[in-house]
Amino acid sequence: MTMELLGRIQRELDLLDQRDLRRVLRVTETPCAPRVRVDGRHVLAFCSNDYLGLASDPRVVRALGEGASLYGVGSGASHLISGHSRAHAALEDRLAQMVSPFVPSVRALYFSTGYMANLALMTALTCMDAQAEIFSEALNHASLIDGMRLSRASVNVYPHGDVAVLETLLRDSAATTKVVVTDSVFSMDGDLAPLPQLLRLCEKYGAWLVVDDAHGFGMLGAEGRGVLQHFGLRSEHIVYLGTLGKAAGVSGAFVAANASVVEWMVQRARPYIYTTAASPALAHALLTSLDIITGAEGAQRRAHVQALIQLMRANVAFHPWELLKSDTSIQPVVIGPNQGALDVAAALLGQGLWVPAIRPPTVPADTARLRVTLSAAHTEDDVRLLVNTLNELGKKNEHA
Ligand X SMILES: *Cc1c(COP(=O)(O)O)cnc(C)c1O
Active site residue 187: yes
Selected catalytic residue, list 141, 178, 215, 230: 215
As a dihedral over the C-alpha atoms of residue 245, residue 371, residue 197, residue 207, rounded to 10 degrees, the angle is -50
Selected catalytic residue, list 85, 112, 151, 187: 187
**Residue whose C-alpha is closest to residue 338's, from 78, 29, 22:** 22
- Site residues for ligand X, 297-326, by CB under 6 A, read none
Residues in the chain: 400
In the complex, what is the shortest distance from the CB of residue 158 to ligand X, in angstroms, rounded to a whole number? 17
As a dihedral over the C-alpha atoms of residue 13, residue 349, residue 345, residue 247, rounded to 10 degrees, the angle is 100
Active site residue 160: no
Burial class (CB in 10 A: 0-12, 13-18, 19+), 29: exposed
- Per-residue contact flags (x/-) with ligand X for residues 117 to 136, judged by CB under 6 A: -x------------------
43 vs 244, which CB is nearer to ligand X?
Answer: 244
Active site residue 375: no
Beta bridge partners of 255: 109, 241
283 vs 393, which CB is nearer to ligand X?
Answer: 283
In the complex, what is the shortest distance from the CB of residue 245 to ligand X, in angstroms, rounded to a whole number? 5
Neighbouring residues of 225: CB distance < 8 A, sequence distance ≥ 6: 98, 99, 101, 102, 217, 294
Q: Which residue in the set 110, 212, 289, 386 belongs to the binding site for ligand X (CB under 6 A)?
A: 212
216 binds ligand X (CB under 6 A): no
In the complex, what is the shortest distance from the CB of residue 58 to ligand X, in angstroms, rounded to a whole number? 23
In the complex, what is the shortest distance from the CB of residue 154 to ligand X, in angstroms, rounded to a whole number? 22
Q: Which residue in the set 84, 88, 141, 230 belongs to the binding site for ligand X (CB under 6 A)?
A: 141
175 vs 214, which CB is nearer to ligand X?
Answer: 214
**Is the bond leading into 360 cis (omega within 30 degrees of zero)?**
no
> Packing angle between helix 380-399 and helix 338-350, nearest 10 degrees?
130
- Per-residue contact flags (x/-) with ligand X for residues 79 to 118, judged by CB under 6 A: ----------------------------------xxx--x
Report the relative pairing of strands 253-258 and 238-243 from DSSP bridges. Answer: antiparallel
Say how far apart CA 291 and CA 287 lie, in whole Å.
Answer: 6
Neighbouring residues of 277: CB distance < 8 A, sequence distance ≥ 6: 75, 77, 78, 79, 83, 84, 85, 88, 112
221 binds ligand X (CB under 6 A): no
- Catalytic residue numbers read 187, 215, 246
Return residues touching ligand X (CB under 6 A): 113-115, 118, 141, 143, 183, 187, 212, 214-215, 243, 245, 253
